[in-house]
Amino acid sequence: MTSKEEISPENYANWFALYQLCKHIEHRQTINISSVEFGKLLNLSQQTASRRINDLLELGWIKRKVEKKSQKIVLTKRGSDVMLLMYKNLKNILESIVILGTVQSGMKEGAYYVSIKGYFDQFQERLGFLPYKGTLNLELNSTNIDLLREKLKNIKPVIISGFEDDKSERSYGFVDCYDCFISRIDNPDDKIKAAILDIKRTHHKENIIEILAEPYLRDYFKLKDGDKLIIELNVNR
Amino acid sequence: MTSKEEISPENYANWFALYQLCKHIEHRQTINISSVEFGKLLNLSQQTASRRINDLLELGWIKRKVEKKSQKIVLTKRGSDVMLLMYKNLKNILESIVILGTVQSGMKEGAYYVSIKGYFDQFQERLGFLPYKGTLNLELNSTNIDLLREKLKNIKPVIISGFEDDKSERSYGFVDCYDCFISRIDNPDDKIKAAILDIKRTHHKENIIEILAEPYLRDYFKLKDGDKLIIELNVNR
DNA sequence: ATTACTAATATCCGAGTAG
DNA sequence: TCTACTCGGATATTAGTAA
């Protein structure tokens, strides 16, 4: 069974030691590292690094063989459980610290509206980019949709005016857009400037939003349905 | 821009403080917590908890308002970046500490072979479970396939004997199976007993393995193509 | 109630060094 | 070279309070 042990102040130094070790795993859960080298990783002395290794041994998080030139350290089942537990917890935490959207296969209506010249020209002018002729649909869970709505209240929308189409004699309403940045959850540094189409006026279910961006986001981020994206708004926090 | 700062021994106590705070976020990146309560979370005194909050303020990871009964703490952009960075690093680490397989849409041949009575009866008897009549295909990256092969060398396979089918006058070769456990990467505690069909004898690409289990795994784990599963072997580490 | 200062103390770290 | 012990000094934590 996976151990449920939490990292408490008595051993978070040890958790970090394990974390640094894991970052240097080479093959088959194995690390070859001397205590001097390990000390450098930890910004600590050889003596303390050596003591850390012994602590990890005692916790049952690693096994090792001391050899002449260095020591061969192997992560135990218990050790990998410790890392897994932290991963799992962080994953949960992320749901409450960033706004996450799940990629959904779009109904093609988005593409139609974006393409309409009366809208398209305004998008280019007021959003500052020439949008791809289609939208990416993101599903938000209820926590995230609330968080998003709350944040949008404090942001000035980019207003896309309505207009009349002479030929079809139809009138098109105004649309509010909100500047944002989109990134993959596993690579938050690669951000794309994008815009959220006003969620009040979409024909979708309440928890789905539509994203406009210059590139075709499915290709740019290599997305599949179900992938998670971070939606970042320009609010000071 | 996302800060690239690493957590060094001078501030990993602070990292853990932030982590514990984040675990208790209620709404809109906000936490209401007194220094006494926070001290309990950290297994530390009220005084130290209070100092930690001040450290986090100084690092720019949180903002706060001290109120009568408690303090309202809000995670900053910088603070959420710190958490995201750790998440990203852990995600990378996981690839080297557990064997991960990516769910692939199967070609239906697996189901055919499992269903053949000559095999099916043996599966039930020798694996200890009545398998679902189909296999789940998992794609492994090259690191993980090497790791798996290495581990399988040290495990005794469950041998499924070959046989002749009188009617079709075809002969079926033997199959090796390996006991394992399968779990979702985001819920490693919920493990399903399963078996890996001998990768040497599959007709697939080299880096795809087939999994047998009692339930229909796609339903049990609510899987979509691209989801990641942990494959655990019963080896002592 | 709170938060947080100061002073006392407990803990941790690294130099020196042995095996 | 390695790892890892002892021990004095550095650092962190807490008790006692103030605000």
pLDDT digits (tens, 9 = 90+) for A45-60: 999 999 999 999 999 9
Check whether B108 has a pLDDT greater than 80: no
Q: Reply yes or no on whether the pLDDT at A200 is more than 90.
A: no
Any idea what DSSP says for residue A225? T
Convert the pLDDT of each residue in B56-89 to its tens digit.
999 999 999 988 778 999 999 999 999 999 999 9
Q: Is the pLDDT of residue A79 over 70?
A: yes
Q: What is the pLDDT of residue A1?
A: 36
Identify the helix (H) or strand (E) that includes residue B137: strand B136-139
For residue A29, give the chain B residue with the closest CA: B97
CATH for the B5-90 domain, from 3.20.20.70, 1.10.340.30, 1.10.10.10, 1.20.1250.20: 1.10.10.10
**CB spacing of B87 vs A87 below 8 angstroms:** yes
Average pLDDT rounded to a whole number, residues B128-133:
92
Chain A residues whose beta carbon lies within 8 Å of the beta carbon of residue B225: 224
Tell me which of A105 and A101 has the higher pLDDT: A101
Strands (E), chain A: 30-33, 62-66, 71-75, 99-104, 136-139, 158-160, 163-165, 170-172, 175-184, 187-197, 208-213, 228-233
Q: How confident is the model at residue A75 (pLDDT cuts 50, 70, 90)?
A: very high
Confidence of residue B3 (pLDDT cuts 50, 70, 90): very low
The answer to whether domain B5-90 and domain B99-233 are alike in fold is: no
pLDDT greater at residue A196 or residue A112: A196
pLDDT surpasses 90 at B191: yes
Beta-carbon contacts of B17 under 8 Å, excluding residues fewer than 6 positions away, are B38, B42, B49, B52, B53, B55, B56
- Taking an 8 Å cut-off on Cβ atoms, the answer to whether A76 and B187 are in contact is no
pLDDT of residue B236: 67
Confidence (pLDDT) at B107? 66
What mean pLDDT do residues B2-9 have?
Answer: 61
Size of chain A, expressed as the number of residues it contains = 237
pLDDT at A50: 96
Which of A142-151, B3-12, B124-133 has the least mean pLDDT?
A: B3-12
Find out if CATH 2.40.30.30 is the number for domain B99-233.
Answer: yes
Is B87 in contact with A74 (Cβ distance < 8 A)? no
A15-24 per-position pLDDT tens digit: 999 999 999 9
3-state SS assignment for residue B171: strand
Q: Which of B96, B102, B152 to mutate to test the interface with A (most CBs of A within 10 A)?
A: B96
Burial B89-111 (b: 16+ CB within 10 A, else e): bbbebbebbbbbbbbbebeeebe
Pick the residue of A22, A41, A90 with the most B CBs within 10 A to test the interface with B by mutation: A90
- CB atoms A13 and B9 under 8 Å: yes
Q: In this structure, what token pair is assigned to residue A177?
A: 């857009």
- The reply to whether B3 touches chain A by the CB within 8 Å rule is no
Strand C: positions under 7 A of a protein C-beta atom: 1-6, 12-16
Contact pairs from chain A to chain B, CB under 8 Å: 137
The pLDDT of residue A63: 96
pLDDT at B101: 95
Partners of residue A77 in chain B, C-beta under 8 Å? 236-237
Looking at residue B10, what is its pLDDT?
76
C-alpha triplet B213, B216, B219: angle, nearest 5°: 135
**pLDDT value at position B203?**
54
**B36 is near strand C: CB distance < 7 Å:** yes
pLDDT value of residue A142: 86
Reply yes or no on whether the pLDDT at A120 is more than 60: yes
Q: Please answer yes or no on whether B227 and A226 come within 8 Å at the CB atom.
A: yes
Whether A89 sits inside 8 A of B12 (CB atoms) is: no
pLDDT classification of A113: cutoffs 50, 70, 90: confident
Distance D7 C1' – A60 CA (angstroms): 28
CA of A46 to C1' of D2 (A): 11
Q: What pLDDT does residue B167 have?
A: 79
Query: Looking at residues B198-204, what average pLDDT do you find?
Result: 60
- Kindly report whether the global pTM for this prediction surpasses the value 0.95: no
Indicate the domain borders of chain B: 5-90, 99-233
The span from the CA of B104 to the CA of B231, in Å, is 15
Residue A27 pLDDT exceeds 80: no
Residue A26 confidence (pLDDT):
81
Q: Which residues of B touch A89 (CB under 8 A)?
A: 19, 23
- In this predicted structure, the answer to whether residue A193 has a pLDDT above a threshold of 70 is yes
- Chain B residues close to A103, C-beta within 8 Å: none
Q: What is the rounded average pLDDT of the residues A22-39?
A: 90
**Strand D nucleotides within 7 Å of a protein CB:** 1-6, 12-16
Contact B225 A227 (CB under 8 A): no
Per-residue model confidence (pLDDT) at position B60: 95
Q: Residue A2: its pLDDT value, please?
A: 37
**Which has more pLDDT, A97 or B199?**
A97
* Percent share of chain B, pLDDT over 90: 59
> What percent of chain A shows pLDDT beyond 70?
93
Q: How far is the CA of A64 from the C1' of C14 (A)?
A: 24
- Contacts (Cβ under 8 Å, ≥6 apart) of A24: A31, A33, A41
